[in-house]
Amino acid sequence: MSASRHAKPRVIVTRRLPGEIEARMMELFDTRLNENDHPFSKAELIAAVQEADILVPTVTDRLGSDVIAQAGERLKLIASFGTGIDHVDLDATRARNIIVTNTPGVLTEDTADMTMALILAVPRRLAEGERLARSGQWKGWSPTFMLGHRIYGKRLGIIGMGRIGQAVARRARGFGLAVHYHNRERVHPDIEGELEATYWPSLDQMLARMDLITIHCPSTPATYHLLSARRLKLIPKHAYIFNVARGGVIDEAELVRMLVAGDLAGAGLDVYEHEPAINQKLLKLDNVVLLPHMGSATLEGRLDMGEKVLINIQTFVDGHAPPDRVIQD
């Protein structure tokens, strides 16, 4: 960055970050924080890209081509605080020679933990039981009370066997689940052996034979409605589905219809197609556990993300390629 040795770059951060990360940003750069933590409007995002040398957005900031087109000449880096980059129009940033970075790899274990929490919670009816215990309506134990389903020995189908998918597989083996997976490419035989995982080249065939299905693929044009209405209908009625990836990977309207009709046993959802809006029909279903996009929400994870953002910015300011530059396929 040409002015880096003479003046601190102007950095605009769109949401509140952990305090120690914000403090270091204020120390290192000419930083403007979002003190109120309100989501930026489109007009505020446009103003930010016009004023900043470096923008630090989050996954909730929609940086489409219409916003990027209005960026000032000084904007050279978008250092996103998050792993997913579906909120940034990469064609538009490339056309403007704006580098985009993300924070990969640091949320793997946290997201896998939350996935396993949902895999346990839905079949064993944990959320239902917790609500009943708090309600004061519990009348005592009986042999047929709150019966759920055993997960030990069940077949788990993992869609997307990257870092998070593999971390889920390791946890699943500890609970006695049989691990199956579908991926764009088959993983290395050593990884398959370690995870005792069975590869399915056909997603359709895998879906039809699983008891539990969990989604761990990124949001891209190719994965939009990957679980389409047609594919959802392939899933057995006794099966459960879990999504801690991105809402748009599932045809949510069809998923809701099937859950309401009893064509699926249940679901655990941390993400939604039109979040933060949640389909009202989902709110009425006891066999669905709903979370507010908190799959990666640990203090440790957020600090690790902040460290990556700082490293990406400082490396760029020092005139080098940032380590987490997003390379468009």
Catalytic residue among 149, 225, 231, 293: 293
Catalytic residue among 246, 254, 273, 302: 246
Taking residue 310's Cβ as centre, other Cβ atoms within 10 Å add up to: 17
pLDDT at 7: 85
CA distance 226 to 82: 22
Architecture of domain 108-290: 3-Layer(aba) Sandwich (3.40)
Q: CA separation (Å) from 229 to 138, 204, 279, 281?
A: 38, 12, 17, 17
pLDDT at 1: 53
pLDDT at 3: 43
pLDDT at 284: 97
Question: Is 182 among the residues known to form the active site?
Answer: no
Q: Which residues of the chain fall short of a pLDDT of 70?
A: 1-6, 328-329
Question: Is 275 among the residues known to form the active site?
Answer: yes
Please write the tens of the pLDDT for every residue from 140-193: 999 999 999 999 999 999 999 999 999 999 999 999 999 999 999 999 999 999
pLDDT at 327: 87
Catalytic residue among 51, 109, 275, 307: 275
Start and end residues for every CATH 3.40.50.720 domain found in the chain: 10-106+299-317, 108-290
Q: CA separation (Å) from 313 to 75, 156, 320?
A: 13, 40, 10
Please write the tens of the pLDDT for every residue from 50-59: 999 999 999 8
Helices (H), the chain: 19-28, 42-51, 65-68, 90-95, 108-121, 126-135, 163-174, 189-195, 203-207, 229-232, 252-261, 280-283, 299-317
CA distance 15 to 10: 16
Strands 212-215, 77-79: pairing is: unpaired
| This prediction's pTM | 0.89
| Residue among 289, 3, 306, 277 at smallest CA distance from 125 | 289
Spell out the CATH class of 10-106+299-317: alpha beta
Which residue's entry shows tokens 């389409």?
Answer: 228
Question: Is 246 among the residues known to form the active site?
Answer: yes
Q: Answer whether 290's CB lies under 8 Å from 278's CB.
A: yes
pLDDT at 4: 43
